[in-house]
Homo-oligomer: A and B are copies of this chain.
Amino acid sequence: MFDSGVGGLTVLKAFRQAFPTADIHYVGDTLHMPYGDKSPENIQDFSRKIARYLRNSGAELIVIACNSASSWAFEAVCQEADDIPVLDVVRPVVHYLAQQSDVNWVGLVGTRATVQSGIYPRLLKAIAPHIHIETLATPLLAPLVEEGIQLHDLNRILVRHYLQQMPLDQAQALVLACTHYPVLHDVFQELLGPQIQVLNPGQVLANQCKAQGMDFAGTGNLFCEVTEYTPAFEKTAERLLGYPISLQTVDLRS
């Protein structure tokens, strides 16, 4: 499983809750984080190198736990993964939405890279053309979550600022299309009201894997690596996961 940084840990958390015996090798590409403002070429380059490394490390499944990489580098990762299956955090959400009979209007917030990729509208158009989608880049939310400042007012002002820029009167769902955002789930839900479902892609992915009968026979081991060690990562990781993790550093630049 990989992400540009700590955000993917919300996917890791959902995945481990669904599959407590899965052994997980997590790579956070902190040297290049955040991916959300990088070019498609670089996101693909970074993702390829990590996928190759994970495959060579013996991974039996690769999970792209990052919306920016899912948006731009899914095919690149599949190529590198060769015969190993690849899951991401975009396609499961699109399939989930397509299956909801009462959903025809969806909002989406994400990084610049994810929104500019146009991947959600494109995939939805292909399998659920009756669903209208409005997207908005909300680039300050990821750093806000990473800092973990516990000021409800601050979170609320910023989330409201972004939501006010989207027409959501007719929406039935809002996709939190950045792995950091589920930390702000309750703020979104409070501001949107109960009639709009707020979707956490990591949770949607874990639910679908479970529903498809996937299983992982392991010991629930977690091996966590970053491409650039920072104490801040460890601190944020513990806050997001609810337990401490030990970090190794890995250089994937060559």
- The answer to whether B143 touches A39 (Cβ under 8 A) is no
With A42-B31, A228-B38 already in contact, the answer to whether A151 and B161 are too (CB < 8 A) is yes
Chain B residue numbers with a CB within 8 Å of A144 are: 140
- The answer to whether B39 touches A229 (Cβ under 8 A) is yes
With A229-B39, A230-B37 already in contact, the answer to whether A140 and B151 are too (CB < 8 A) is no
Decide yes or no whether A250 CB sits under 8 A from chain B: no
- The answer to whether B139 touches A147 (Cβ under 8 A) is yes
Chain B residue numbers with a CB within 8 Å of A190 are: none
A154 partner, pick from B38, B112, B143, B154, beta carbons under 8 A? B154
Chain B residue numbers with a CB within 8 Å of A151 are: 157-158, 161
Decide yes or no whether A153 CB sits under 8 A from chain B: yes
Task: Give chain A's interface residue range (CB within 8 Å of chain B).
Answer: 20 to 34
Smallest CB gap from A39: residue in B: B228
- The answer to whether B153 touches A157 (Cβ under 8 A) is yes
Separation of A48 and B67 alpha carbons in the complex (Å) = 33
Decide yes or no whether A232 CB sits under 8 A from chain B: yes
- The answer to whether B149 touches A232 (Cβ under 8 A) is no
Can you identify 27 A-B contacts, CB atoms within 8 angstroms? A30-B37, A31-B32, A31-B42, A32-B32, A37-B230, A37-B232, A38-B228, A39-B228, A39-B230, A112-B230, A139-B143, A139-B147, A139-B232, A140-B143, A140-B144, A140-B147, A140-B149, A143-B143, A149-B158, A149-B161, A151-B157, A151-B158, A153-B157, A154-B154, A154-B158, A154-B161, A157-B157
Q: Which 4 A-B pairs have the closest CB atoms?
A: A143-B143, A140-B147, A154-B157, A37-B230
